[in-house]
Amino acid sequence: MTARRFITLLCVLALVPALAGPASAHGLIGQRFFPATLAIDDPFVADELSMPTVNSIRLPGDGTLDNRPTKQTDISAEFSKRLTPDLGISLAPSYSFFDAEHGPLTKGFDNLEVSLKYVFWKSAEHETLLSAGVAWEVGGTGSKLIADSFDTATPQFFFGKGFGDLPDAMEFFKPGALTGAIGLGIPTRRHTKHYVLDDNDNVLTLRDLNPQTVNWGFSVQYNLQYLQSFVRDIGLPAPFNRMIPLVEFAMQTPIEGPQAGHTTGTINPGVIWFGRYMQLSLEAVVPANSRTGRNLGVLGQIHFYLDDIAPQIFTWTPFNGILGPTQPR
């Protein structure tokens, strides 16, 4: 990261705390616990660590030498820290492997992603929270074989809504919840140049558009612990009584260039188990359409609640002191 980018980030962090006010605890709004989702970002801020997150899928390619069928495996981590009760920052490095069919193995770090998120509205009665933020992919921090040399900024909006306020006649719908996110990826470089030789060995300069892309998605969740504790105890034993079956939809839609309007993405059914200090998650990765591919993948994650593991260490903030544990002792 260059000195200019680092100074810019510090200036942003110095300005935004003035907007922050009191907030709810990590992943909690009213009686609702929102887990950390895998394919899309969740709407809350917290002191937490996801490590590792492993995503593996076989990309179809088009049969040409430059675009062979390839198995892609991404291993990533994310460290998130609250700066105030409502404001958080996240750092997310990742390492990728591209194993091309009858071709070389390419591997290396992707660009570092830095994110800010601010929870600006919440209702405990309606189990609802709204947040906004910006993600910054810092160009040039990853391997030249893997990562772009330019930055991409993505302003984002997030929401979470639990159904606990439904009437009692719909009691078995109350454990359900929705979360969602939408953002616009804006590359700082409009075109990327590369050079090729024509049939007469003349050098040609090609300019590929780096399109703006809408990144959007949502999750549908059903919290079995909520069912047992706040709706009706149906006698689920451990570990099922702390599971959250869910389906995530993670999509990308370019809004310019030759692929404008052509959505790609995945549908990820899976389950999350959560305890006091951590959660374990596993999802299938199902291509949403033929443009995405036809092969199934897998996505798994180990996630740690740092604010409950060691609150005296991890919940210290530069503006509000020690916030303390976020789940009742």
Q: Which of 127-131, 198-202, 269-273 has the lowest mean pLDDT?
A: 198-202
pLDDT at 208: 86
Question: Which amino acid makes up residue 292?
Answer: T
pLDDT at 201: 67
SS3 307: helix
SS3 225: helix
DSSP H or E segment with residue 270: strand 264-274
pLDDT per residue as tens digits for the range 205-218: 778 889 999 999 99
Of the chain, the percentage scoring pLDDT greater than 70 comes to 85
pLDDT at 16: 39
Given a contact cutoff of 8 angstroms between Cβ atoms, the answer to whether 326 and 308 are in contact is yes
Of 202 and 254, more confident? 254
pLDDT at 248: 98
pLDDT at 130 over 70: yes
- Which pLDDT band, with edges at 50, 70 and 90, does 24 fall under? very low
pLDDT at 122: 95
pLDDT at 279 over 60: yes
pLDDT per residue as tens digits for the range 49-80: 999 999 999 988 655 545 678 899 999 999 99
pLDDT at 27: 82
pLDDT at 100 over 70: yes
Q: Which of 1-5, 99-103, 240-244 has the lowest mean pLDDT?
A: 1-5
Q: How many CA atoms lie less than 13 Å away from 144 in the CB half-sphere?
A: 0
pLDDT at 23: 34
pLDDT per residue as tens digits for the range 174-193: 999 999 999 999 999 998 87
Sign of CA dihedral 262, 264, 269, 273: negative
Distance CA 202, CA 197 (A): 5
Question: Which amino acid makes up residue 203?
Answer: V
Domain boundaries of the chain, sorted by first residue: 3-322
pTM (predicted TM-score): 0.87
CATH 2.40.160.40 fits 3-322, yes or no: yes
pLDDT at 67: 67
**What's the DSSP call for residue 290?**
T
Of the chain, the percentage scoring pLDDT greater than 90 comes to 74
Of 203 and 8, more confident? 203
Give the max Cα distance, the chain: 77
- Which pLDDT band, with edges at 50, 70 and 90, does 241 fall under? very high
Q: Which two tokens stand for residue 302?
A: 């180990």
- Give mean pLDDT, residues 20-38: 73
Of 325 and 50, more confident? 50
pLDDT at 271 over 80: yes
- Give mean pLDDT, residues 40-51: 95
pLDDT at 128 over 80: yes
Listed in sequence order, the DSSP H helices in 88-197 are none
Given a contact cutoff of 8 angstroms between Cβ atoms, the answer to whether 154 and 215 are in contact is yes
Average pLDDT, the chain: 88
